Amino acid sequence: MLRVKRFFSMGALIAVINKKDENVAETAFAMLKVLEREGVDTFGIASPIEMRIEKSAEALVNQGIDSPIIIGYIFSRILTTDKPQPIKLEDTTLIFEGRLYSATAENWDAEDFAKKLQRNHEKNAEELIKKAEGDFTFVIAEKGKLIAGRDVLGVRPLYYGQSANLACLASERKALWKIGIKNISSFPPGNIALIDEHGFKFKSVKTLVYSKPRHLMIQTAAKKLQKLLQQSTKKRVSGLKEVAVAFSGGLDSSIIAFLAKKTAANVHLIHVSLENQPETEHAKKAAEELELPIHFCLFNEKDVEKTLPKVLWLVEEPDVVKASIGIPVFWAAEKAAKADFKVMLAGQGADELFGGYKRYVNDYSICGNKTVRKRMFNDIVRMYETNFERDFKLCNFHNVELRLPFATYQMAKFATELPLELKIKLPDDGMRKLVLRQVARNLGLPQNIVEKPKKAIQYTSGVSKALEKLAKKEGLSVRDYMKKTFLIFFKKMR
* Long-range Cβ contact pairs of 266-269 (< 8 A, separation 24 or more): 266/241, 266/242, 267/242, 267/243, 267/292, 267/293, 268/242, 268/243, 268/244, 268/292, 268/293, 268/294, 268/295, 268/339, 268/341, 269/244, 269/245, 269/293, 269/294, 269/295
pTM over 0.85: yes
Sheet bearing 294-299, strands edge to edge: 294-299, 266-274, 242-246, 343-345, 401-403
Angle at 271 between CA 486 and CA 37, to 5 degrees: 45
* 389 lies in the same domain as 456: yes
- Same-domain pairing of 177 and 252: no
**Angle in degrees, CA 302, 308, 312, rounded to 5:** 175
pLDDT-based confidence at residue 364 (cuts at 50, 70, 90): confident
Question: Would 68 be classed as within a structural domain?
Answer: yes
Please tell me whether residues 192 and 224 are part of one structural domain. no
pLDDT tens digits, 469-483: 999 999 999 999 999
From 204, 233, 267, give the residue that closes a domain.
Answer: 204
Structural domain count of the chain: 2
Q: Do 156 and 58 sit in the same domain of this protein?
A: yes
Phi, psi of 99 (to 5 degrees): -135, 140
pLDDT at 454: 74
CA distance 447 to 451: 6
- Under 8 Å between Cβ of 328 and 372: no
Helix (H) / strand (E) element for 117: namely helix 110-117
Q: Is 234 helix (H, G, I), strand (E, B) or coil?
A: helix
CB atoms within 10 A of CB 302: 10
Cβ atoms of 97 and 136 closer than 8 Å: yes
- Is 14 among the domain residues? yes
The answer to whether residue 298 is domain-embedded is: yes
Average pLDDT in the 320-325 region? 94
Same-domain status, 161 and 265: no
Bridge pairing between strands 42-46 and 266-274: unpaired
Is residue 390 assigned to a domain?
yes
* Cα distance between residue 299 and residue 290, in whole Å: 25
Strand partners, 345: 245, 403
**CA 168/CA 160 separation, integer angstroms:** 6
344 with 458, same domain: the answer is yes
CATH number at residue 146: 3.60.20.10
Asked if residue 388 and residue 263 are part of one domain, the reply reads yes
pLDDT recorded at residue 56: 86
What percentage of the chain exceeds 70 in pLDDT?
Answer: 92
Tell whether 343 and 463 lie within a shared domain: yes
pLDDT at 348 over 70: yes
Strand partners, 75: 11, 42
Check whether residue 197 and residue 235 sit in a common domain: no
Does 223 lie in the same domain as 199? no
In a domain, 210, yes or no: no
Identify the pLDDT of residue 112. 52
Task: Count other C-beta atoms under 10 Å from residue 359's C-beta.
Answer: 10
- pLDDT > 90 in the chain, percent: 73
Q: Where are the beta strands (DSSP E) in 285-335?
A: 294-299
Inside any domain, residue 393: yes
Asked if 177 and 248 sit in the same domain, the reply is no
Structure confidence by residue, pLDDT tens digits, 424-452: 987 766 579 999 999 999 999 999 999 88
pLDDT band at 108 (very low <50, low <70, confident <90, very high): very low
Q: What is the CATH number of the domain that holds 383?
A: 3.40.50.620
310 and 447 share one domain: yes
For 3-43, what is each residue's pLDDT tens digit?
333 345 578 999 999 999 999 999 999 999 999 988 889 99
489 located within any domain: no
Three-class secondary structure of residue 237 per DSSP: helix
Range(s) of the domain holding residue 182: 4-204
Closest to 302 in 3D by CA, of 99, 462, 142, 69: 462
What pLDDT shows up at residue 217?
A: 95
Domain ends where: 155, 179, 204?
204
Report the number of secondary-structure helices (H) and strands (E) in the chain: 20, 18
Query: Is residue 491 a part of any domain in this protein?
Result: no
Of the residues 204, 226, 257, the one at which a domain ends: 204
How far apart CA 260 and CA 127 sit, in angstroms, is: 30
